[in-house]
Amino acid sequence: MIAANAPRKRRSDAKLLVIDAHAHIAHARRRTLATRLRRFDLVVANDAMTLPASLAGIHVRTGHAVEIRLAGCRTLVGEIGPFTAVLFGAGDFRTRTEDRPLPPGLEKGDLIALGPLRATIEETLGHPRLVALRFEGSPASVWEGIARHGRPIQYAHMAAPLAMWDVWTPIAGAPLAFEPPSAGFVLDWKTLAAIRARGAQFATITHAAGLSSTGDPELDRRLPLDEPYRIPATTARAIGETKRRGGRVIAVGTTVVRALEDAASRDGVVHGGESVATQRIGADTVLRVVDAIVSGTHEPGTSHYELLRAFADDVTLRRAAAELDARDYHTHEFGDSVFIERRVRCVACATRHAPRLAA
């Protein structure tokens, strides 16, 4: 695959690799996504807006320069934060995260000055880079500080730094994502109209998508972090209707799968409201809600790839990876996309696996 190195996220020639429920692979233009839909299907996307989660500053006790990447939050309601954050030593995005130095030794109570913002380390989290931190000041002043001082998280494979205009998804609402919910780039307003024209519906959830990779293998094994999410009552109702009518629930992005399957883990029904997704989804997961996923292309070993294993078996995913390579698909956040229907499973297998799905 080719790394997509320019944020031309709404490329009209973007590609879509399709894996159907019988493991057949086909290739299409991404802009024809809506033609894959049937009457009564429901497309569900994550409308979280991407925060400018990279903040440059100084570790006050040692005077060392650091970069903080806000990586996740624990709740959607009330005041802003506390945040889980990953710290890097001096340097910028042109150095691959794998090669970035560690920050100075971090201790509970340490102060970090970040432009107009001041943050205190509330807790260290068992890794030299990972902490829980809280900003000082009123919510309004914290929002202003993040809005003015923060930058989108950058990627070493990009030719030029990303601006907020590059990471904004057309449907973005509440500012809660720490990396762009990149699958959301497949949706524009024309596609939403095309979804309606197919007799399908569109709904959203808000899922605080955390950092997907840090470049540190030990840290990456702990991903995804726990992620709070909110499912509007109207979305929960639409999912119920879709199931009753025999339509498919199509998740745009891995975060949507995580939220919907978490919400249904109790009794198989998606309930509206707020909760925190803590589960990992992988080959052993029996999906109870989501029938298909639209996603970016992901490489084996990432938590995103693991999640795709709940939809298609490894042989099929390996065949798909070979096709992506052979046909010059672009990978990464601003690359091409895949559409994967959940494979048909025998009833007996599903029954055998059912008790494990919350694991």
Partner 1 sequence: METTNRNAASLALKGTRIAITGGTSGLGLALVRECIARGAAVAFIARTRDRVERVAEEIRSRGNIHGIVGDIARKDDIHSLALQILGTLGGLDVLINNASSLGATPLALLADTECEDFEGALAANVLGPFRLTKTLLGALAASARERRGSVVLNISSDAATNPYAGWGAYGASKAALHQMSRIWNEELGEDGIRFLSVDPGDMDTPLHALALPDADRAALKRPEMAARELVDKIALALASLRSPRASDQAESASVA
Q: Binding residue for partner 1 (CB under 8 A) from 171, 223, 249, 310? A: 171
Q: For residues 72 and 103, which CB has a smaller minimum distance to partner 1 in the complex?
A: 72
From the list 53-61, 106-114, 160-168, 294-302, the region that binds partner 1 by CB under 8 A is 160-168
Nearest distance from residue 128's CB to partner 1, in Å? 30
Identify whether 82 is preceded by a cis peptide bond (ω within 30 of 0): yes
Q: For residues 147 and 359, which CB has a smaller minimum distance to partner 1 in the complex?
A: 147
* Pick from 219, 212, 179, 167: nearest CA to 305: 212
Nearest distance from residue 177's CB to partner 1, in Å? 12
Q: Binding residue for partner 1 (CB under 8 A) from 49, 252, 289, 293? A: 49
* Pick from 53, 161, 142, 68: nearest CA to 112: 68
Q: For residues 78 and 355, which CB has a smaller minimum distance to partner 1 in the complex?
A: 78
Q: For residues 131 and 146, which CB has a smaller minimum distance to partner 1 in the complex?
A: 146
Q: For residues 104 and 115, which CB has a smaller minimum distance to partner 1 in the complex?
A: 115
Assess contact for 105 and 56: CB atoms under 8 A. no
Residue 292 CA: distances (Å) to CA of 18, 48, 209, 254, 261: 10, 20, 19, 11, 12
Q: Does 192 bind partner 1 (CB under 8 A)?
A: yes
Q: Does 223 bind partner 1 (CB under 8 A)?
A: no
* Pick from 232, 249, 234, 256: nearest CA to 183: 256
Q: For residues 52 and 296, which CB has a smaller minimum distance to partner 1 in the complex?
A: 52
From the list 48-56, 215-223, 330-338, 345-353, the region that binds partner 1 by CB under 8 A is 48-56
Q: Binding residue for partner 1 (CB under 8 A) from 32, 234, 278, 351? A: 234
Helix (H, G, I), strand (E, B) or coil at 290: coil
Report phi then psi at 334, rounded to 5.
-110, 25
Q: Binding residue for partner 1 (CB under 8 A) from 8, 96, 157, 196? A: 196
Q: What would the two tokens of residue 196 be?
A: 């309606």
Q: Binding residue for partner 1 (CB under 8 A) from 15, 47, 182, 297? A: 47
Q: What is the C-alpha separation between 66 and 89, in angstroms, rounded?
A: 5
Q: For residues 154 and 201, which CB has a smaller minimum distance to partner 1 in the complex?
A: 201
Report phi then psi at 296, rounded to 5.
-70, 175
Helix (H, G, I), strand (E, B) or coil at 320: helix
Q: What would the two tokens of residue 265 be?
A: 């883990």
Q: Does 173 bind partner 1 (CB under 8 A)?
A: yes
